[in-house]
Structure 1
């Protein structure tokens, strides 16, 4: 009997059509089994992160699926069972790819070793350089966008996430931003291989930059130092900076967060969180020291006005009983309140508003 014939037979239940059985497929290759599993999961509506695979693997998988036709149920059950068995037997997994390995080893290997490994990975044709470029911080990408040809900048903007591209464009000088934006209109005919080569070149340039000795920039470091310096020292240093470099001094001033900035940058609803972290005698010392002093008195009153009135009244009564407070003790008490604010900000429990001057 030919295998593709349909046979109609009479039975007690009426006319029965017998379909020819699908041939049993034995000895599937690993790639064929992968195609079966992917097809099965897609039918079930599972969202698979296949885009995270290297492009050559995506292409091989897609080509394999295009070559296959029918798989009978017995073969499907066998492949799924084998897949689940292997999945349950996994005891340890690795990130896959040099970038994942470097993220895992961050802090355990030297920056020079990490840089060398990244250069080796970027030279491989199987690695998409834009995967690394897209996750780099804006501060590292901005010099590239400012110095490279506008056509290269246009390709980079086109590959980056929209929000990051918008931030970069906003930080360019007006004329440069307009030229790069116009160049984006001419990228429609750029082929994928050219885009990949541009990414490889940019990544090589980024990797050749010497490792930074400090995690933060000079403005942030000077601002952090002056944040905990006595007011007289802070004012004297800022005056000296303004005489030497007015632009740098202005950036440092914006980076500083001191007691006088509390009303402008702290949300009123966050005042109770700050008060809970500081011991009451320290609060009394800071608030009493601020009394009668322009600027810092407003900050103390801001905190007192945004906590429970019963607690505020108790603090005011203790403040009235305090005598003259030494400058050193007052500065230390205010620093304790500022440290509590920075602790909560670092932990994500509060968000400081941006200074209106920024």
Structure 2
């Protein structure tokens, strides 16, 4: 009788339990496995928001690994999924993330102080701040900085904003900056990052303003609600003092006379529904009796025929209205338009600057 071979006497060992397999791995190895698995499955994995050190650690870890069996993969994925399911709440990372989450909920003064105490680097990519900044704030920075720095800034902005910024520079400065862009091919990522930090620091050093809107918008909003005679008198005075500012105020003004030029015809039914019927009849009657008859016709022509016919009949029954009553009613129509525009229900047509200058 033949004796069993040594191989036959070896008892096969069962594969280790899944939990025990995953337990031997470090969290860095598990992270590398999850990232690799997601990439293999075609998921969009954006790691650029991670700190540079973590990106480097993850890359090094993935480069040091060769093979992971299916049992280990299943174990790591199950553990990762269990952690996600058990996660009830996450908080933003660092002061930068907390400020982003609380944007608009804490006072600008507190936010500015925290930004200064935390440091610019705490806000993530400084170029995001530069790209989001108002061009009026970027122009003086460009004029104060060297041509090379301005060229880097121009290269980092979106094309439409870069073109707009360039058009606001003096001719000679714009030509030098444009030429300097051709010399930026050798600029290193580190240098671009340092320039971004410097620009973001300058933006953060700008004092907080007390008013959200500019002076032209504030004056325009006030004049919207004033009688037309007073409004015309104020604008005449502004023309004598500062024609440029007067033009800005005129662009910010929206009165009943602007309705036909700036309200989309398809939005007229929304406007008329927003206004009390008696007020609307008074406004249309007052406008029809004066220089604003074309605006009244614009509103009547762009609503349902049945409603327009009914309003015309009631306008005839009402007869003549006092100028003061008509103007107050027209102001209420304008206020309705502005409310709808502010809520996003309608979009006003932006006036052409050349047409504004001719008014």
Task: Give the Cα–Cα distance (whole angstroms) in 1 for the partners of residues 57 and 128 of structure 2.
Answer: 20
Residue aligned with 2:48, SS: helix
Partner of 2:98: 101
What does residue range 197-216 of structure 1 map to in structure 2 within 5 Å?
Answer: 197-216=194-213
Per-residue deviation at 1:47?
A: 0.4
Partner of 1:18: none
What does residue range 107-186 of structure 1 map to in structure 2 within 5 Å?
Answer: 107-124=104-121, 127-186=124-183
Q: What TM-score, normalized by structure 1, do the two folds share? A: 0.87
Contact 1:282–1:333 (CA under 8 A) maintained in structure 2: yes
Is 1:58 the counterpart of 2:93? The answer is no
Partner of 1:73: 70
Partner of 1:316: 312
Task: Give the Cα–Cα distance (whole angstroms) in 1 for the partners of residues 285 and 32 of structure 2.
Answer: 73
Task: Give the Cα–Cα distance (whole angstroms) in 2 for the partners of residues 56 and 225 of structure 1.
Answer: 53
Task: Give the Cα–Cα distance (whole angstroms) in 1 for the partners of residues 122 and 96 of structure 2.
Answer: 15
Per-residue deviation at 1:127?
A: 4.2
Relative distance call for 1:122 and 1:271 in structure 2 (3 A) is: same
Per-residue deviation at 1:303?
A: 0.7
Task: Find 2:330's aligned residue among 311, 334, 337.
Answer: 334
Partner of 1:221: 218
Q: What TM-score, normalized by structure 2, do the two folds share? A: 0.87
Per-residue deviation at 1:314?
A: 1.3
Per-residue deviation at 1:147?
A: 3.3
Relative distance call for 1:357 and 1:134 in structure 2 (3 A) is: closer
Q: Structure 1 stretch 143-152 or stretch 302-311: which is displaced more?
A: 143-152
Task: Find 2:24's aligned residue among 27, 31, 45.
Answer: 27
Q: Structure 1 stretch 116-125 or stretch 149-158: which is displaced more?
A: 116-125
Relative distance call for 1:97 and 1:217 in structure 2 (3 A) is: same
Residue aligned with 1:70, SS: coil
Task: Give the Cα–Cα distance (whole angstroms) in 2 for the partners of residues 39 and 216 of structure 1.
Answer: 49
Per-residue deviation at 1:342?
A: 1.1
Contact 2:264–2:349 (CA under 8 A) maintained in structure 1: yes
Task: Give the Cα–Cα distance (whole angstroms) in 2 for the partners of residues 75 and 338 of structure 1.
Answer: 68
Q: CA RMSD in A?
A: 2.2
Per-residue deviation at 1:71?
A: 1.1
Task: Give the Cα–Cα distance (whole angstroms) in 1 for the partners of residues 47 and 143 of structure 2.
Answer: 34
Per-residue deviation at 1:112?
A: 3.0
Task: Give the Cα–Cα distance (whole angstroms) in 1 for the partners of residues 157 and 245 of structure 2.
Answer: 30
Question: Which structure features the higher share of helix residues?
Answer: 2
Q: Structure 1 stretch 225-234 or stretch 167-176: which is displaced more?
A: 167-176
What does residue range 193-272 of structure 1 map to in structure 2 within 5 Å?
Answer: 193-272=190-269
Q: Structure 1 stretch 39-48 or stretch 276-285: which is displaced more?
A: 276-285
Structure 1 runs not aligned, ≥5 long:
1-20
Contact 1:222–1:252 (CA under 8 A) maintained in structure 2: yes
Relative distance call for 1:178 and 1:289 in structure 2 (3 A) is: same
Per-residue deviation at 1:50?
A: 1.4
